[in-house]
Amino acid sequence: ETGVTQSPTHLIKTRGQQVTLRCSSQSGHNTVSWYQQALGQGPQFIFQYYREEENGRGNFPPRFSGLQFPNYSSELNVNALELDDSALYLCASSPRIPGANVLTFGAGSRLTVL
């Protein structure tokens, strides 16, 4: 089975720009979540998508938004980029069954905002 794949792996943007990051979930997984990992920190929960709708969100402003598609792939969009948005963005997928809080992570997209 294929794991979680993310693209692009690295990208550089400037303040005020917008960015879209993409994620393909693991085969058989229908729930996708996104995490932000700043340098030297643990991942921070941004939001989760199930059945193409956001059904859980962490402490992130509305300029962080997402989409989930019928094939369970997902996008993370960040508008009006700020310097502090520089981080590794991790996508994770999981099956939607009881006790399945076990996430499979992708390798991440490293965003640098200048």
Partner 1 sequence: GQQLNQSPQSMFIQEGEDVSMNCTSSSIFNTWLWYKQDPGEGPVLLIALYKAGELTSNGRLTAQFGITRKDSFLNISASIPSDVGIYFCAGHGGGADGLTFGKGTHLIIQP
In the list 43, 66, 72, 87, the residue contacting partner 1 (rule: CB under 8 A) is 43
Q: Least separation, in Å, of the C-beta of 85 and partner 1?
A: 14
Touching partner 1, residues 66-105 (CB under 8 A): 90, 92, 99, 101-105
C-alpha torsion sign, points 95, 100, 106, 111: positive
Backbone phi, psi, residue 56, to 5°? 180, 140
Q: Are 77 and 24 in contact (CB under 8 A)?
A: no
In the list 40, 62, 71, 84, the residue contacting partner 1 (rule: CB under 8 A) is 40
Q: Are 53 and 74 in contact (CB under 8 A)?
A: no
Q: Which residues bind partner 1 (CB under 8 A)?
A: 4, 33, 35, 40-48, 50, 55-56, 58-59, 90, 92, 99, 101-108
